Amino acid sequence: MLNKASFAERGFDYFNTVLMVLLMVLTVYPLIYVVFASVSDAGSLMGHKGILWRPIGFSLDAYTNVFRNPMILKGYGNTLFVVLIGLMLNIMLTSFGAYALSRKSLQYRKPLMLFIIFTMFFSGGLIPLYLTVKGAGLIDSLWALIIPQAINTFNLILMKTAFEAIPDALEESAKIDGANDFVILFKIVLPLSMPVIAVMLLYYGVSHWNSWFQAMIFLQERSLYPLQLVLREILLQGEATANSGASDGDAAMLAATLKYATIIVATVPILCVYPFLQKYFVKGALIGAIKG
């Protein structure tokens, strides 16, 4: 027969429940505020003070103004190209590097890892990076947003740790059957590492989707702008209108909701993808934390 929980245990459970609810509200409310503000009337929102629990004077003018820009669809297309092609290159190269570094038979394995870890703390800086990209002929090319970020050191170490957790007996039995390293990687290691692959997809995908600084440095042609740079341009134009003291009061007020609409346009695709990767994300992150 199960013992009944004591008063202290019940009190502790209630306290945890209340605390988790409060943390959830504090976490979710900023997103709810942005959603409500983005569909509120600009003039009413500017005059509102305090907590925003619902849209004030429902209006889609901010979204209309954002999508009226002909660069939006072009920016989406450029960003999707960078994300999709970049992810394929990221996963492929990171997998190759992680698999090689996870093999105990690799010569100079420890010195190589030290050199790789060194890059996490020290880099050449922006000017050498720009000169390297320029020397490779990638200026004004979407490949400038893909190739320099092909492998992230932290992600490489995380995937290497996951590969090392796979039993050596599987590799040895595959080699007895005549499998080479490519067969072992694609037929054994990667299928058993789907949680960490999902983590890599999320880490690299979010990094590509949110990237704007590299685009601002390497791209001058506006037709190549990714979504984040297009939205930044729209936001800066709205702020300039609001701060110019121009006679067009409607445009100045619209800038108040424009920034919230740009946030929603930029984050909704990632929010739609994340739930499908969440169950793998936690497991994959823990795999990389178990063994160093």
pLDDT digits (tens, 9 = 90+) for 15-44: 899 999 999 888 888 888 888 888 887 777
Look up the pTM and report it: 0.78
The pLDDT value given to residue 290:
46
For residues 97 and 154, what is the distance between their CA atoms, to the nearest angstrom? 12
How much is the pLDDT for 241? Answer: 64
| Residue reference for tokens 């992230």 | 152
39, 55 Cβ separation under 8 angstroms? yes
**Residue 139 φ/ψ, nearest 5 degrees:** -65, 140
Q: For 125, left (φ over 0), alpha (ψ -120 to 50), or beta? A: left
For residue 180, give the 3-state DSSP assignment.
Answer: coil
User: E strands of 172-262, at which residues?
Assistant: none
Please state the domain extents for the chain. 70-290
Superfamily of domain 70-290: MetI-like (1.10.3720.10)
Give me the average pLDDT of each 10-residue run along the chain (292 residues): 67 88 88 85 74 81 81 88 94 93 86 89 86 91 91 91 86 85 89 86 88 89 88 75 57 70 82 73 56 45
